């Protein structure tokens, strides 16, 4: 401090002496009647005290001015000390155009440390040197606003000496510095805040993702619950429908059973009743011819034996209809061939034909019995009720099912009316055939027109070939 004060005093003393010498030279220039030495010592008035008074005044001025300079320097030192000890970087630049910014003219120690430059390096830079290139347009607009509003606050990034980005907040304002308008940049490092914001944002995103995931889980659970409730509802409806269908099926089976009983009763009445009545007449006739002509008696006995044989065959046929043991003993293929042969013997050798693949190994015993009964019903309906003269059956095996196709040239009938229980053919057993096919898991179809014959097609799945648990 004393050194500064001494320098100030010496400068002012030298300035006083220079003033004294200059004043003496000026006096000598205008008043040459006296010598230069006289003017230097005494001045124009010739009084020595005048020069000493002037010298004292100059000395006092030197002392006052030196004290002012010392105080000014002390103030500048305190300002610099305060300026350098601010934690946030501060940069100072003169006002210039936004497109051609001036270089920095001052900065504090925090700015040097944060940006990694020394004083000489930093003061050779301008704002465009520490602002990323992609921020240049934004900075140009901010500088324009700053010149109008005298103050601007914004976020950006600064580049340090190693080109690392530093996220900052800048409070820029125009201020007067030594009589010159300058821009003061107060820079606040927000890297920690950005990290905290990023962590908070990540936590928020994670929380939102968990909420979305949980919402999706709850939505899926709700959908699953609704689906389960819907399936339960459907299952209940299906159960109710199945129960209703079971009731209908039982009712139909009872109807089928009753029709079978009626058919068997008619068979017994028509076949055995008539046969036994005729046999009674034959025995009465034989009794009357006993003891008469032996030839006539022998012929009557022979005729009676043939009639008894026919009656026995009818009993066997009815027995086979009630329980077709031929299927169990020889298989469906042989049983169907035998059935068709019986009808050819009874009606006409050319009345019916059958073509079929070997299917015994593909179907269970119970299913074979059902199919045999269906063909019994078809043949009886065709020749007894339909007055057909020819019937053709084709049976073909496929990969997963067996197809049955039966066509006759009978008089035909109204299929819809028969299925509805109307008309004269309501006892022909179509419902029983359809029920049997349904019990075997197959599909049944029938088409017929008046005087155009009847076509019956049905399929039986091979996958049911081991199912023996179905009952008629």
Confidence of residue 100 (pLDDT cuts 50, 70, 90): low
355 exposure class (CB count in 10 Å sphere: 0-12, 13-18, 19+): exposed
Q: 248: Cβ–Cβ under 8 A, 6 or more apart, which residues?
A: none
Q: Catalogue the long-range contacts made by 328-332 (C-beta closer than 8 Å, 24 or more residues apart).
A: 328/365, 328/369, 331/360, 331/368, 332/359, 332/360, 332/363, 332/368, 332/371, 332/372
Average pLDDT over residues 51-61: 69
Look at residue 314 in the predicted model and tell me its pLDDT: 65
Q: 282: Cβ–Cβ under 8 A, 6 or more apart, which residues?
A: 300, 303, 304, 307
Mean pLDDT of the chain: 77
Look at residue 266 in the predicted model and tell me its pLDDT: 65
Burial 122-138 (b: 16+ CB within 10 A, else e): bbebebeebbeeebeee
360 compared with 14, residue with greater pLDDT:
360
pLDDT digits (tens, 9 = 90+) for 39-49: 566 555 555 55
pLDDT digits (tens, 9 = 90+) for 291-327: 666 776 676 677 777 777 667 666 656 655 555 678 8
Confidence of residue 242 (pLDDT cuts 50, 70, 90): confident
Look at residue 456 in the predicted model and tell me its pLDDT: 95
Beta bridge partners of 454: 408, 448
Average pLDDT over residues 268-286: 66
Starting at the earlier edge strand, list the strands of the sheet with 151-159: 106-107, 90-94, 180-189, 165-177, 151-159
Rounded to 10 degrees, what is the CA torsion of 110, 115, 121, 126? -100
391 compared with 1, residue with greater pLDDT:
391
Rounded to 10 degrees, what is the CA torsion of 373, 374, 377, 382? -140
- Beta pairing, strands 443-448 & 391-397: unpaired
Residue 397 in contact with residue 362, Cβ under 8 Å?
yes
Residue 129 in contact with residue 172, Cβ under 8 Å?
no
Q: Which of these ranges, 233-242, 273-282, 378-387, 440-449, has the smallest mean pLDDT?
A: 273-282
Task: Indicate if the pLDDT at residue 117 is higher than 80.
Answer: yes
Helix (H, G, I), strand (E, B) or coil at 101: coil
Average pLDDT over residues 272-283: 67
Look at residue 466 in the predicted model and tell me its pLDDT: 47
Question: 314 vs 310, 326, 342, 429, 438, CA distance in Å?
Answer: 6, 16, 11, 22, 31
pLDDT digits (tens, 9 = 90+) for 130-155: 888 888 788 788 878 888 888 888 88
Look at residue 468 in the predicted model and tell me its pLDDT: 44
Look at residue 428 in the predicted model and tell me its pLDDT: 53
Q: Which of these ranges, 127-131, 212-216, 451-455, has the smallest mean pLDDT?
A: 127-131
**How remote is the C-alpha of 204 from its chain's centroid?**
24
Confidence of residue 459 (pLDDT cuts 50, 70, 90): very high
The alpha-carbon radius of gyration of the chain (Å, integer) is: 65
Task: Indicate if the pLDDT at residue 267 is higher than 50.
Answer: yes
pLDDT digits (tens, 9 = 90+) for 319-354: 555 556 788 888 889 999 989 998 898 888 889 999
Stretch (H or E) spanning 182 = strand 180-189
- What DSSP designation does 427 have? T
Query: Model's pTM, two decimal places?
Result: 0.40
Look at residue 394 in the predicted model and tell me its pLDDT: 96
Residue 87 in contact with residue 114, Cβ under 8 Å?
no
Residue 288 in contact with residue 237, Cβ under 8 Å?
no
Residue 150 in contact with residue 173, Cβ under 8 Å?
yes
């Amino acid at each position: 401090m004393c050194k500064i004060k001494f320098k100030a005093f010496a400068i002012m003393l030298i300035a006083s002496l220079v003033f004294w010498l200059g004043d003496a030279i000026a006096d000598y220039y205008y008043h040459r009647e006296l010598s230069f030495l006289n003017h230097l010592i005494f001045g124009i008035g010739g009084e020595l005290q005048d020069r000493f008074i002037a010298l004292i005044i100059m000395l006092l001025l030197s002392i006052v001015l030196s004290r002012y300079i010392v105080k000014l320097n002390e103030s500048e030192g305190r300002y610099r000390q305060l300026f350098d000890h601010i934690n946030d970087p501060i940069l100072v630049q003169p006002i210039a155009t936004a497109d051609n910014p001036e270089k920095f003219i001052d900065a504090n120690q925090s700015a040097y440390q944060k940006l990694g430059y020394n004083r000489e390096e930093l003061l050779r830079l301008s704002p465009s040197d520490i602002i990323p290139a992609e921020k240049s347009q934004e900075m140009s607009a901010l500088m324009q606003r700053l010149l109008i509003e005298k103050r601007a606050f914004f976020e950006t990034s600064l580049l340090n000496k190693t080109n690392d980005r530093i996220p900052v907040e800048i409070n820029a304002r125009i201020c007067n510095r030594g009589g010159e308008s300058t821009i003061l940049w107060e820079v606040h490092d927000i890297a920690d805040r950005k990290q905290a914001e990023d962590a908070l944002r990540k936590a928020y995103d994670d929380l939102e993702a968990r909420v979305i995931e949980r919402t999706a889980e709850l939505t899926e659970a709700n959908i699953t619950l609704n689906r389960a409730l819907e399936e339960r509802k459907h299952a209940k409806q299906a159960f109710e429908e199945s129960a209703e269908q079971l009731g209908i099926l039982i009712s139909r089976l009872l109807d089928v059973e009753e029709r079978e009983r009626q058919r068997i009763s008619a068979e017994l009445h028509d076949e055995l009743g008539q046969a036994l009545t005729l046999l009674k007449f034959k025995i009465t006739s034989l009794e009357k011819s006993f003891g008469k002509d032996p030839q006539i008696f022998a012929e009557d006995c022979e005729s009676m034996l043939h009639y008894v044989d026919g009656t026995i065959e009818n009993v066997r046929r009815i027995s086979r209809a009630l329980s077709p043991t031929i299927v169990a003993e020889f298989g469906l293929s042989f049983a169907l061939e035998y059935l068709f042969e019986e009808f050819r013997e009874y009606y006409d050798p050319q009345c019916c034909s059958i073509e079929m693949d070997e299917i015994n190994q593909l179907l269970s015993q119970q299913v074979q019995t059902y199919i045999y009964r269906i063909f019994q019903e078809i043949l009886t309906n065709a020749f007894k009720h339909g007055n057909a003269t020819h019937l053709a059956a084709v049976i073909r095996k496929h990969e997963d099912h067996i197809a049955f196709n039966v066509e006759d040239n009978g008089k035909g009938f109204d299929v819809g009316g028969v299925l509805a229980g109307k008309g004269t053919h309501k006892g022909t057993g179509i419902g029983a055939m359809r029920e049997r096919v349904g019990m075997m898991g197959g599909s049944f179809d029938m088409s017929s027109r008046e005087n155009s014959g009847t076509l019956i097609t049905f399929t039986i799945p091979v996958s049911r070939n081991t199912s023996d648990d179905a009952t008629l």
